[in-house]
Structure 1
Amino acid sequence: MDSQEQYVRYRDDVKVLAAIGECVQAQVGRVAVRLPRAVAEAAVAAWERNEPDGLGEESREQYVLRDQAAELALIGLAVSERGRWEGESVVVGLDVASAGAAVRAVP
């Protein structure tokens, strides 16, 4: 089997995955989650942080780290804009993509 054929199949697989994503997004949109105060506040701090411009060339690992940090910052934005504090936790509606990014970050 030619390895290029394999990648053609993978591209087709991604189209199916995207179609499933459209279905999920239409049905779910946002997911209500409860976060402990410490992680909610850390997410807001990530949103409020100013990062230097002009990163330059990144390794794959650095890109993945920066992408995950950006997902955290978007969760912080959601917490700051629409989070509802209940004692030592916050309840917030997260976009299903942000919730999924958080789950994928679990080792």
Structure 2
Amino acid sequence: MDESPEYIRYRQDSAVLAEIGRFLDPQVARLTVRLSGDLARAAAAAWDRDEEGEAGEETAEQARVRDRAASLALIGLAVSDRGVASGEEIVVDLDVTEVAAALLAAYDEDVISLESP
């Protein structure tokens, strides 16, 4: 099936975006962030949880939700390994991809908007 000119451009744009990511990767590794204690404990619990069975065939929505759960678990691993209590919060260095995953989930769930400061 032939792609429309728009989708050919979108694929080219995607390739440029990937190259920007390659260029930025050595510049940005981890970010120091603060999480509430409750959120940090929930992330750590996601890391500690054993999932039974295999994913099997999934819809695009199911795959996205599973990917987000995996991102949460990776944040939980960081909290468990590197998190330091600071009052009621946990300070932890997160990989930039983990921060991005959390922000994308927040945008998608309308918890924050693109106009947020």
TM-score, length-scaled by structure 2: 0.84
Task: State the partner residue of 1:18.
Answer: 18
Q: Superposition pairs for residues 1-107 of structure 1, below 5 Å?
A: 3-106=3-106, 107=110
> What SS does structure 2 have at the residue aligned with 1:27?
coil
AA at the equivalent of 1:57: E
Q: Deviations over 1:65-106 (max 9, x none)?
A: 111010000000011111111121111111111100000111
> What SS does structure 2 have at the residue aligned with 1:13?
helix
Give unpaired runs (5+ residues) of structure 1: none
Equivalent residues, number: 106
Looking at both structures, which has the greater relative contact order when contacts are Cα pairs under 8 Å and sequence separation is at least 6? 1
Query: How many Å apart are 1:3 and its aligned residue?
Result: 4.3
Relative to its length, the structure with more helix (as a share) is 1
AA at the equivalent of 2:56: G
Distance 2:20 2:49 in 1: 34
Identity rate, percent: 52
> What SS does structure 2 have at the residue aligned with 1:31?
strand
Name segments (4+ residues, structure 1) moved above 6 Å: none
Distance 1:55 1:102 in 2: 22
AA at the equivalent of 1:84: V
Query: How many Å apart are 1:62 and its aligned residue?
Result: 0.9
Give unpaired runs (5+ residues) of structure 2: 111-117
AA at the equivalent of 1:62: Q
Quote the RMSD (CA, aligned, Å).
1.4
TM-score, length-scaled by structure 1: 0.91
